[in-house]
């Protein structure tokens, strides 16, 4: 990646134990291994992190216009595809004291 030469190490979110940014192939391998271990449906790294960031921003109450702007969308409604989860349901999941076992709850609707 050519941009590694021009950006300081702190500009990268994913770095190795030496503080150097991972290459794209290594990140994809780590991401894929995590998906397999978590037993969740496959989603590529780019879309997965974008969706996670947008969903987290909504859960923290950040305005959809700001989220859309941060994601580089031309209109705020474009963020809807990333911010499709119901915030209340996600809060319940995050705050649930029971660990996730991968099985769907029979009481979930």
For residue range 34-77, what is the model confidence (pLDDT) as tens digits? 889 988 888 888 888 888 888 888 878 888 889 888 888 888 88
Q: Is the pLDDT of residue 23 over 60?
A: yes
pLDDT at residue 101 is higher than 60: no
Its sign, for the CA torsion 92, 86, 41, 70, is negative
Angle, helices 87-95/45-59, rounded to nearest 10 degrees: 90
What percentage of residues in the chain have a pLDDT greater than 70?
A: 74
State the Cα–Cα distance between residues 97 and 50, nearest whole angstrom: 27
The phi, psi pair for 93, rounded to 5°, reads -65, -50
* pLDDT at residue 33 in the model: 92
Q: What is the mean pLDDT of residues 19-25?
A: 82
Q: Which stretches of the chain are assigned E, i.e. beta strand?
A: none
Of residues 71 and 105, more confidently modeled: 71
Distance CA 54, CA 19 (A): 26
């Amino acid at each position: 990646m050519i941009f590694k030469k021009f950006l300081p190490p702190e500009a990268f979110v994913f770095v190795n134990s030496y503080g150097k940014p991972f290459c794209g192939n290594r990140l994809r391998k780590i991401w894929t291994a995590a998906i397999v271990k978590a037993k969740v449906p496959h989603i590529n790294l780019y879309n997965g992190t974008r969706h996670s960031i947008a969903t987290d921003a909504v859960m923290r109450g950040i305005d959809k216009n700001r989220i859309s702007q941060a994601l580089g969308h031309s209109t705020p409604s474009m963020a809807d595809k990333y911010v499709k989860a119901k915030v209340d349901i996600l809060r319940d999941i995050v705050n649930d004291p029971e660990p996730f076992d991968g099985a769907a709850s029979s009481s979930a609707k």
